[in-house]
Chain A
Amino acid sequence: MWPVTMTIILACVFGGFIWCLKTAMNAETKKGH
């Protein structure tokens, strides 16, 4: 069971972080145009 919970937890942590960075990058690209 723990490999499943580990995958979900780490996906939330790193997925959340990457989503934030990607959203910020997209926003900056839009502002640049």
Chain B
Amino acid sequence: MSENSNEQWSSRWGLVFAAMGMAIGTGNIWRFPRVAATNGGGAFYIAYFLALFLWAIPLLCAEGVWGKVSRMGVIGSFKEMLGKKWTWVGALVAWISLAIAFYYAVVIGWCIRYFLYAATGVLKPGLDSKALWDSFINNPTQGALFFIVALLMAIFIVSRGIQNGLEKANKFMIPSIFILLIFLAIRAQFLPGAWKGLEYLFTIRMEDVMKGKTYLEAFTQAAWSTGAGWGLFLTYFVYAKKDEDILLNSTTTAFADTAAASLAGLCVIPTIFAISADPMAAVKSGNNGLAFIHLTNLFTQIPGGVIMALAFFAALIMAALSSEISMIQLGVRLLEDAGWGTKKATWAIGAACLVCGLPSAMYNWFFENQDWVWGVGLLLSGLLFSIGAMKIGVRKIWVEYIEPCSDIKFYWMWWLVCLFPVWFVIIFGWWTMQSISWYPGEWYKWLPISKYTYTVGTMYYQWIIAAVVFYFLNNWLAEKTTHKLEAKY
């Protein structure tokens, strides 16, 4: 056994900062502003607040219970909470998050590359930002190189353990992200015409309030951004104190995530509306298009734009890294539950990330396919937690595990987990229908992946393969997963 295997957070704040780091990712900085602006602005915020309470907070609570009660990672916690037969369900949830960890380091690599572009004077007036992005993304060697750098950074942090690695890193990165975003948000307001962006982002239009798509996009963003249902919050709660609050820490994580996203919105949208000749083209250009083409181009046109670019890409790197380390820690905990030491487990998960992430680093179509398959898969993970909670008993969980240690006693916030299957059917059904409409008559196809990147077929086939493999490995996984964390305080 490793000397680190029974380590816990040094204080509540160690857990809170780590949980914020888990939730705050690139999705807050490059996806939230874009999706909020293109889906109603103020109306989107109303829908997003609903999503926080109806989707994110109940799921985070369920995860907190799983981790704190079982003191095991995702696989072991499903076994402990729901019985041996459910072990494979935990493995499926864990796999979905690990599959994301594999390609997420690629994104950190892109941000490091662009930070270096800004630091070395590449981002200057007259730059063709689209050509720069195209030449980078179509260069497998560069993609692989920066992916490996990003992965090594994440492995270094996780291998140092809970207090010296994750806790210290997050206590530095989270305040840094907020400081950088506050600086960017303030700077953006001094650009001429920035108010047009604020007007666009915060106006509440009744037609958008009444539109279903506003809610679908908001719930999807909340699901992906807060990290609810991924098993990451669960993993962090394995190391929590015995009397650690679950409900308030879940709420804090959800609001921290929204605060970071709003700061990013206050920076990105006013900057685009102030400088861009066609703001709507920029906000509708996708995550990569927004950050690496449009914003990069705008930074070259703004006086002192290089400083903005450095701050923006540094914030992106830290946001992505603080999420990546939580995903790697999820995998490390699984191996620790099987008796592995921390360092050995970290290098093993790092090696898995390297092998499984390289195709995404080298070929963007593979990255996009994996992002689609496992990104939507997270909705499924959320459903599995909510079904598990209902099987155990929502009231029972509240009375035995949440209420006794909670600094806020709002049962209704937890009870809303019962409604989760309804939101799942609506959101998942909408994504399925969208995907079918993208590939009329061919929605069930999945090979070649480069052609059928976003089909329902590719999603279902990959999910089914993973589920069948873990179903047959159920007993083996249950027998291997036996080492609980022994909480000292």
Q: Find out whether the CB atom of B255 lies under 8 angstroms from the CB atom of A20.
A: yes
Known: A5-B204, A24-B407, A28-B12. A17 touches B248 (CB 8 A): no
A13–B442 alpha-carbon span in the complex (Å): 43
Q: Is the interface of B mostly helix, strand, loop or mixed?
A: helix
- Which residue of B is nearest A7, CB measured? B202
Q: Find out whether the CB atom of B203 lies under 8 angstroms from the CB atom of A20.
A: no
Q: Find out whether the CB atom of B202 lies under 8 angstroms from the CB atom of A2.
A: yes
Q: Find out whether the CB atom of A24 lies under 8 angstroms from the CB atom of B255.
A: no
B259 within 8 A of A: yes
B16 contacts which of A2, A12, A13, A24 (Cβ < 8 Å)?
A24
B387 within 8 A of A: no
Q: Find out whether the CB atom of A2 lies under 8 angstroms from the CB atom of B252.
A: no
- Which residue of A is nearest B249, CB measured? A24
Q: Which B residues between 245 and 291 are near A, CB-CB below 8 angstroms?
A: 245, 248-249, 251-252, 255-256, 258-259, 262
A2–B249 alpha-carbon span in the complex (Å): 32
Known: A5-B204, A6-B202, A20-B248. A27 touches B407 (CB 8 A): yes
Known: A13-B258, A16-B251, A27-B248. 8 other contacts (CB 8 A): A6-B202, A9-B262, A12-B49, A13-B45, A14-B259, A16-B255, A20-B248, A24-B249
Q: What are 29 A-B pairs at a CB distance below 8 A?
A: A1-B203, A2-B202, A5-B42, A6-B201, A9-B42, A9-B45, A9-B202, A9-B262, A10-B262, A12-B49, A13-B45, A13-B262, A16-B251, A17-B252, A17-B255, A17-B256, A17-B258, A21-B252, A23-B248, A23-B407, A23-B408, A24-B12, A24-B245, A24-B249, A24-B252, A24-B407, A27-B248, A27-B407, A31-B243
Residues of B within 8 A of A (CB): 11-12, 16, 42, 45, 49, 198-199, 201-204, 243, 245, 248-249, 251-252, 255-256, 258-259, 262, 407-408
